[in-house]
Structure 1
């Protein structure tokens, strides 16, 4: 017979160690948390997230409520919405063993599926040490933090009707990614949504996303974080600055409540699920930008929120205990290849796939996940390989940012199955379009799928995530409008952000009414958008680029909750021409399988029609110019089904890129048998493209390509 234990009028039993976190069932909830070096654990229950005193404090009995290194208890009568946290006691020896236990600090459950409440890191109580003490972080703080930290919240994971929703599983080669920030996308009044800045607000923009034609949205971090952590102010306006982007996770299972319509953690869970469900109904995948390389607890002088107080020496990579290895550039580095942290990462990812129906992930500074405890690169023996071979995660989109902040750069070096952000594509195309020399050969490699980086094992062109702009760095419009970053408003003396932008302002810095400059900028943008969507690989567009959104030259807007991040939707009407151009190219890519090949191009005729899968040209046919001073690239793609693997033959496509500052006349290769060349795209024209079935017939064997522009021809029967 089960023997119940009564704790402060609560009926309990020992519980189970199997599932970490708060596992709610019909008659109560099982709580379980790992702490190897903690000497005692107490579970605290709160009625509300803002409460400074718990309603119940239950000290777990090491003989009854502990199995191995897992502390656990089952409490009857617990319902969804119950707030809770942990207090864990143990040694406070940062300089000796890296232990930072403090029984006065309420800790978030690392497996909490909802988190509510706010933080105040401006008060001494938020820290495990005495701020201002001569001993620094070696001092000990006995103040309670209950009133200045968020609370974990119990969630009923089964209390949502998905109505048969499943992941869409769009093949990566057919994917077109659109990177957006949940709040920034709809926060501006011009968005016209009822719930601006929220998961619900994203639902209201689905018609726009479907019209644009992208297949997948990539959401910047939605894992729980503290958006109030930034202590700086804008030196120009004196407005408070924020952690807007969210690259400082504190809870890897909970969608952040800042994006809920009522700022509540429970609401965030349900509104997030509703958003994913609505996106799937519209045929749009949702992938998450996830940050498992570090947490928002910072270095030894950061606050104690969760991991530091649970088992600091296990969760973090430390230098002789006291100090943190900083491969992330954010103060600490998670010990990603310790078995407990590996479990946390994989359990979190599985939760987002199974319970939240997420289609895939982009891993921030993913090279860190391939480092061992000493910092050495060991990708095939790391969590990277385990994620790819996981029976649940292996079938999702897994995308790496292939470097970290400590100089480890492994683009192309990730285990099979991983796609990667291709920074070489970004840099080579940017440099070529702005007029840099000695790049035509490199541009050809990027257009053809970057085989020099990805041609090994079972990797394919689609594993190259091609991009020209992303959240960090210039927008596409700023890339052609600013020679220099303009980050003064970040409060760091313009020292933050990348100085190597490969940008060119086209003759005037920033805003201008010079029509010659504006026309040149437009041609450059059209050329870059064209190359992005015509290249082999998987394209990623930064949300807002298609309407010429500008951040006024700020290339590191991580701290602004204003129009430096908020999309200005009035630009859709103002720059509708470029929106229509971008939309056309997206549909062009989706229509032509020759742009989405399964395998790498080899420059040979595999189909037997006497046309190579790709042939390179210059001003003269079959004479590509790979010289130092070359500013042109031209190529022809064989659209036959024998080459593409499609059910029907596609058009042959001829692309000419003239990055030179003068017009050039290009001789054209022969089109397919009994076919004629037609102009589909000419970025030098005001519209930039011709409607389907209204393409302009080419009446000559040569074509005059305007300076700094792109032309796309398709062959078809007259």
Structure 2
């Protein structure tokens, strides 16, 4: 369920963002009677396309398997970004890198247990083969010579794993439902431990949730452990639309300022300085942006 929806979201084949919200918080619609760790999240696995191939091929290319391309699934939910297979087109390759980073970011920022297929963080390819179990050849081997070309993907993967390790808010052991956030003395802060934003300065409305054309979602996560060492909070934006969009950064009790700490966007596309709460942020097309609350 996680794999199929996340793939569809980033290739533009979903209805609204309500399902995305469920996947981001550990799929409570499926595992409500269990802990979030019951949700084993993945975008790719040992069979099927690799992450790089997921953004490079629309269809399988399994001719080398000797079955006239009949083997392997046809339900890949992939998008080649405009050209089938490898290309020297710089614009297409930049989009592929962005989409691969978006998929990894969604995986690593979601509650539950993330499963990463070895080599995906290095841009591993099986040349469009989605059923390489029968291959003991360069098609199925993990090649380290892709590391430099796909270093941006490796760097973002490393950064997000670091954030996940340092901040328990990204790996909660129990579901949250937007309960009021209390300070260490038990007094309300005016914030919640989980909140959803759609680009306006207020939380998502019922109409926002039912908008089938919506391609943008913001999730606010605040650490709520009574004995927490710090009031860590983050606002994560996921924008799958092809065009830039302007979003409001919640103010009042939500934050004083925001700082970009990880993103799939290019460095020049986002401000490097602290952003005042109540200001606006222009999200580039097809990107994930992680803002730390100050």
TM-score (norm 2): 0.91
1: CA distance, partners of 2:84 / 2:13: 19
Please say if residues 156 and 262 of structure 2, whose CA atoms lie closer than 8 Å, have aligned partners that are also in contact: no
Q: Which residue of 2 aligns with 1:446?
A: 23
Task: Please provide the CA RMSD for this pair.
Answer: 2.0
Check 1:672–1:588 CA distance in 2 against 1; reply closer, same or farther (3 A cut): farther
Q: 1:606 to 1:677 in 2, by over 3 A?
A: closer
Structure 1 counterpart of 2:185: none
2:111 to 536, 541, 550: 536
Task: Report the Cα offset of residue 687 of structure 1.
Answer: 9.2
Pairs within 5 Å for 1:44-123: none
Q: Who is 1:648 aligned against?
A: 229
Residue matched to 2:4: 427
Residue equivalent to 1:554: 129
Structure 2 unaligned regions, length at least 5 = 183-187
State the partner residue of 1:659: 240
Instruction: Tell me which residue corresponds to 1:571.
Output: 146
Q: 2:287 aligns with which of 693, 704, 709?
A: 709
Q: 1:634 aligns with which of 218, 237, 253?
A: 218
User: Which residue of the partner structure matches residue 611 of structure 1?
Assistant: 191
Cα distance change on mapping 1:653 and 1:578 into 2, 3 Å: same
Q: Which of 61, 64, 73 is matched with 1:486 structurally?
A: 61
User: What does 1:6-21 correspond to in 2, within 5 Å?
Assistant: none
| In structure 2, C-alpha distance between the alignment counterparts of 1:501 and 1:509, rounded to whole Å | 14
Structure showing greater relative contact order (alpha-carbon pairs closer than 8 Å, 6 or more residues apart): 2
Q: Look up the SS of the partner of 2:229 in the other structure.
A: coil
Measure how far apart 1:650 and its partner are: 4.2
Return closer, same or farther for 1:589/1:553 CA change in 2, 3 Å cut-off: same
Cα distance between partner residues in 2 of 1:620 and 1:527: 23
Alpha-carbon distance in structure 1 between the residues aligned to 2:293 and 2:281:
14
Deviation larger for 475-484 or 436-445: 436-445
Q: Deviation at 1:577?
A: 2.1
Instruction: Tell me by how many angstroms 1:675 deviates.
Output: 3.6
C-alpha displacement at 1:573, in angstroms? 2.4
Aligned match of 1:676 in 257, 262, 279?
A: 257
Q: Deviations over 1:458-506 (max 9, x none)?
A: x201110100000111111111110001111111121111111110001
Contact 1:490 1:557 in 2 (8 A): yes
Cα deviations across residues 397-444 of structure 1 (Å, max 9, x unaligned)? xxxxxxxxxxxxxxxxxxxxxxxxxxx110111100101131411111
Deviations 1:168-213 (A, max 9, x none): xxxxxxxxxxxxxxxxxxxxxxxxxxxxxxxxxxxxxxxxxxxxxx
TM-score normalised by length of structure 1:
0.38
SS in 2 for 1:611: strand
1:541 and 1:650, CA in 2 relative to 1: closer, same or farther beyond 3 A? farther
Correspondent of 1:516 among 85, 91, 103 = 91
Give the superposition deviation at 1:701: 1.1
Alpha-carbon distance between aligned partners in 2 of 1:475 and 1:564, rounded to the nearest angstrom: 11
Say yes or no: does 1:477 pair with 2:52. Answer: yes
Q: Displacement of 1:610 after TM fit?
A: 2.0
| Pair 1:465 & 2:40 matched | yes
Contact in 2 for aligned 1:680/1:696 (Cα 8 Å): no
Q: 1:656 to 1:530 in 2, by over 3 A?
A: same
User: How far is the alpha carbon of 1:686 from its aligned partner?
Assistant: 5.3
Residue aligned with 2:260, SS: strand
The CA distance in 2 between the partners of 1:597 and 1:675, in whole Å, is 24
Counting matched residue pairs gives 284
2:158 corresponds in structure 1 to: 583
SS of 1:669's partner is coil
Aligned residue for 1:442, secondary structure, equals helix
| Matches of 1:552 and 1:674, distance apart in 2 | 46
Mean CA deviation greater in 667-676 or 622-631: 667-676
Deviation at 1:673, TM superposition (A): 7.0
Q: Could you tell me whether the CA contact under 8 Å between 1:506 and 1:521 is conserved in 2?
A: yes
1:623 aligns with one of 178, 192, 204: 204
4+ long deviations beyond 4 Å:
671-674, 686-690
Q: Indicate the structure with greater helix content.
A: 2
Equivalences for residues 25-44 of structure 1 within 5 A: none
Task: Measure how far apart 1:639 and its partner are.
Answer: 2.2
SS at match of 1:620: coil
Residue 623 of structure 1: how far off its partner (Å): 2.8
Q: Is the 8 A contact 1:529 1:582 kept in 2?
A: yes
**In structure 2, the residue corresponding to 1:633 is in which secondary structure?**
strand
Aligned to 1:504: 79
> Do the aligned partners of residues 560 and 524 (structure 1) sit closer, same or farther apart at CA in structure 2, a change above 3 Å counting?
same
**Is the 1:677–1:713 Cα contact (8 Å) retained in structure 2?**
yes
Deviation at 1:596, TM superposition (A): 1.1
1: CA distance, partners of 2:291 / 2:192: 17
